[in-house]
Amino acid sequence: GIACLWGPAHGGANEAVIQMLEQIGVKENVEQFVADVKAKKDGVRLMGFGHRVYKNYDPRAKFAKVLVQQVLGDLGMQDPMLEVAMELERIALQDEYFTKRKLYPNVDFYTGIMLRAIGIPTSMFTVMFAMSRTVGWVSHWMEMVSEGQMRIGRPRQIYGGIAERSFQPRRGGWSLRRRLGSSDSMDAAASFSSSQAQAEIQQRAFGRRTSMVNLELEAKQTR
């Protein structure tokens, strides 16, 4: 589960925000950073903004923004990255480029600063992310055990596409003969023929499997 959450697009998003804020450095650099984001400059990416569901300001981010200030205050700490983050939010939300694209701070934008303040290393952010999900994972496990059977859950998907297609070689596929010497041409031709045969075998096997699944479903529907 932790491995599936890893990465800047999900469980490691707040870690990516910290890296972005450190890249900006100080709030005076925020305007140039925003300009680089809009210009799609290589190596510059806005993290912690936007959400697939929330197309406006993420309500969790509003709470996190207040909470991170409370945590830092209670700990008697000052994190310069919070100042950079708040300046970035201010400038971005005044810019039509971001608001038209529904890019508002999400829950990851401020939580990384808070986790770091309480002593969690950035490399462990995804682990903390996963810990909150263990309640659900364990609940599913307990439900499965309580049912008195340990059958593996197998969600099914029905392929509705073409069952079998003939192999169509790409145009210009034999241009290798013109590029290679005579002996190399023979090797290339043998390799191509072998690949073509393997592709046809795989297509036929897939067609047979699809047909068997369809027959099985028809049989169940007629019962």
Question: What amino acid positions are annotated as catalytic residues?
Answer: 51, 108
CB 109: neighbour CB atoms within 10 A? 27
* 3 state SS of 49: strand
Alpha helices in 94-151 (DSSP H): 96-99, 108-117, 125-131, 134-146
CA 105 to CA 63: how far, in whole Å?
11
Buried/exposed 114-152: b ≥16 CB within 10 Å, e otherwise: bbbbeeeebeebbeebbeeeeeeeeeeeeeeeeeeeeee
Contacts of 86 (CB under 8 A, 6+ apart): 65
